């Protein structure tokens, strides 16, 4: 039976580092990159690079907070401490909401991919199998989650490194029956920016959200054996991972294939492997994408349940969500996080997928910006309360503070403005801001009541 015990510190440094790596490589890289390439042309490489630099800076700020005080609630706990209970409650519930929606979506997306591989099984049954299996994994122990995520991440890393290696060999003219294109595909179809600079903004928004998940390592730090070392090692390697996995693989795609090829939009990684004569390219990439989807589902169950646990422990969520089993697992939190996925299974059986998820996906589509803005504001507020001596002994420090932190905040606000001015992203932004406004209102009411209770007690 659940008790009011604590979580177990069972995740080792190797597992936490791999969880951080897995958080970077999501299904958005394998699937969503095609749309960005077709919109922006070969210049999309610069979009991935510059957007990645912004993410690196945000994660550096989060690493400063996390290594100074590793907690399960991560940025939500830090926001409560530095900005007030209203901020922690707001961003914590918004983040948990996002991952619950993601769990539901990934369950359906994974079922669709599995159905392509083995059509005999209906999609709703695949969804049920995936949800049941990974819910059991998360209910067993945190070490079960860590082991599964370690191997999910390993498969993704091996796949992306192999892809880049094959691509480099092709570009270098080392593959038989393939003529190296040189710079023909980069410059020969309208140049680096064939559609001008305007499409780069829309593409940058797609790219920005594909990086979401990097913060997972700081959520898991609260259950790590040596959180400070693990977070420091993982966050310091974020830059290398972004450059290798994202920028490197996208550069291979736009060098090997013309940016306006039909296959790029459908599945750029499959298109490259097929062009290079890799046997079973479609099946291989389907398996890799399925792994990425299941990894995201697994991470979503974990992230959402731990955020709900942290909110409960701070009195910002129902008390039951803060109780743990003897194994240290917040059972009620895991079941609450998985409930969205099981509802999706039922909905997928009775209703078309689009009718179920359109609103939910749109309402959580811009939550990455909300979370990153909160991290930025929390780090700036935390720095302002510290003396020079306290800043000096921080295990990890944000570069160029406080000016670079303010610059990142301005860039994030510019992204919000860009979304508001872009027709494709205006509705998701509006719905996300609506959800955020509801959470902020609830946070302010909660904080006011807490202050009133404290005052009456005194």
C-alpha closest to that of 71 among 6, 160, 115: 6
Q: Residue 427: which domain range? A: 13-453
Structural domain count of the chain: 1
User: Quick one: pLDDT at residue 458?
Assistant: 63
222: in domain: yes
Helices (H) and strands (E) in the chain, counts: 23, 0
240: in domain: yes
412: in domain: yes
Residues found in the chain: 458
SS3 per residue for 13-68: HHHHHHHHHHHHCCHHHHHHHHHHHHHHHHHHHHHHHHHHHHHHHHHHHHHHHHHH
C-alpha closest to that of 26 among 215, 164, 236: 215
Between CA 343 and CA 349 the distance in angstroms is 10
458: in domain: no
pLDDT by 10s per residue, the chain, length 458? 344 457 888 888 788 877 877 777 777 788 778 888 988 899 999 999 988 899 889 989 998 888 887 776 688 889 998 999 999 999 999 999 988 888 888 888 888 889 989 999 988 899 899 999 999 999 998 999 999 999 998 998 899 999 999 999 999 888 888 888 888 888 888 888 998 877 887 787 778 778 888 888 888 878 888 877 777 777 777 777 777 888 999 999 999 999 988 888 878 898 899 889 888 888 998 899 899 889 989 988 999 999 999 999 988 999 999 999 988 899 999 999 999 888 878 876 776 555 555 666 677 778 888 999 999 999 999 999 888 888 888 888 899 878 999 999 999 998 888 888 888 788 888 889 999 999 999 999 999 988 887 777 76
User: Quick one: pLDDT at residue 359?
Assistant: 67
Q: Are 123 and 348 in contact (CB under 8 A)?
A: yes
Q: Would you call 3 helix, strand, or coil by DSSP? A: strand
Between CA 410 and CA 406 the distance in angstroms is 6
155: in domain: yes
Burial of 438 (0-12, 13-18, 19+ CB in 10 A): middle
Between CA 358 and CA 5 the distance in angstroms is 39
What residues does 224 pair with on adjacent strands? 11
CATH classification of the domain holding 284: 1.20.1740.10
Between CA 320 and CA 303 the distance in angstroms is 17
Between CA 109 and CA 103 the distance in angstroms is 10
Q: Are 420 and 426 in contact (CB under 8 A)?
A: yes
8: in domain: no
6: in domain: no
Q: Are 377 and 402 in contact (CB under 8 A)?
A: no
């Amino acid at each position: 039976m659940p008790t009011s015990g604590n979580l177990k510190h069972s995740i080792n440094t190797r597992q936490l580092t791999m969880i951080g790596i897995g958080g970077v490589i999501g299904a958005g890289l394998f699937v969503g990159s095609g749309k960005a390439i077709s919109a922006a042309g070969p210049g999309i490489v610069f979009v991935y690079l510059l957007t990645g630099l912004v993410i690196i800076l945000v994660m550096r700020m989060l690493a400063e907070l996390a290594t100074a005080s590793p907690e399960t609630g991560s940025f939500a706990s830090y926001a409560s401490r530095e900005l007030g209970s209203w901020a922690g409650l707001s961003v914590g519930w918004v983040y948990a909401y996002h991952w619950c929606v993601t769990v539901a979506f990934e369950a359906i997306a994974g079922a669709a991919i599995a159905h392509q591989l083995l059509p005999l099984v209906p999609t709703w049954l695949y969804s049920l199998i995936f949800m049941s299996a990974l819910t059991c994994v998360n209910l067993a122990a945190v070490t079960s989650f860590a082991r599964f995520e370690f191997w999910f991440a390993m498969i993704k890393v091996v796949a992306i490194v192999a892809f880049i290696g094959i691509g480099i060999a092709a570009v270098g003219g080392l593959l038989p029956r393939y003529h190296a294109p040189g710079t023909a595909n980069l410059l020969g179809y309208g140049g680096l920016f064939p559609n001008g600079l305007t499409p780069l903004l829309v593409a940058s928004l797609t790219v920005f959200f594909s990086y979401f998940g990097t913060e997972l390592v700081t959520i898991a730090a609260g259950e790590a054996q040596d959180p400070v070392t693990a977070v420091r090692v993982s966050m310091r390697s974020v830059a290398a991972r972004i450059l290798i996995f994202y920028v490197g693989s996208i550069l291979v795609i736009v060098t090997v294939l013309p940016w306006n090829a039909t296959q790029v939009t459908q599945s750029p990684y499959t298109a490259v492997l097929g062009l290079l004569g890799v046997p079973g390219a479609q099946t291989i990439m389907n398996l890799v994408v399925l792994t990425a989807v299941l990894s995201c589902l697994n991470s979503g169950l974990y992230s959402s349940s731990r955020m709900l646990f942290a909110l409960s422990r701070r009195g910002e969520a129902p008390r039951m969500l803060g109780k743990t089993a003897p194994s240290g697992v917040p059972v009620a939190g895991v079941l609450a996080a998985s409930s969205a996925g099981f509802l999706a299974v039922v909905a997928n059986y009775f209703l078309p997928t689009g009718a179920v998820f359109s609103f939910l996906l749109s309402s959580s589509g811009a939550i990455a910006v909300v979370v990153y803005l909160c991290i930025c504001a929390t780090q700036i507020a935390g720095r302002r309360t510290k003396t020079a001596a306290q800043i000096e002994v921080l295990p990890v420090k944000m570069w160029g503070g406080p000016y670079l932190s303010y610059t990142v905040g301005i860039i994030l606000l510019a992204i919000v403005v860009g979304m508001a001015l872009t027709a494709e992203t205006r509705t998701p932004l509006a719905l996300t801001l609506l959800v955020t406004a509801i959470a902020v209102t609830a946070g302010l009411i909660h904080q006011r009541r807490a202050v009133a209770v404290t005052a009456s007690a005194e």
